[in-house]
Amino acid sequence: MDECTVLARDLTIVNTRGLHARASAKLVKLVETFDAHVRVSKDGQTVGGTSIMGLMMLAASPGCSIHVVVTGNQKEEAISAIAHLVEDGFGERD
């Protein structure tokens, strides 16, 4: 795949607090490790994957679905890591 190819995936928020400040910060920190451009959408609102405030403004509560779109040289690695983080509840155990 070339860097212009777009990868997209729908993910369900499973942690009990949703996409709150700490979870958003973890997602941003992860996204910043890849040579990729990430956009996250919910209910027609799209924000950059490197904006903690933007991610929090999506108000993605438990059970909500978010749509993640990734482009760039490391898009496969990025979308896989993002999916793992979200599916693992952002590492939260409560």
Q: Which of 20, 37, 67, 84 is catalytic?
A: 20
Please confirm, yes or no, whether 67 is among the known catalytic residues: no
* Alpha carbon distance 69, 6 (integer Å): 7
Site of tokens 């995936």: 9
Give the residue numbers annotated as catalytic, written as ranges: 20
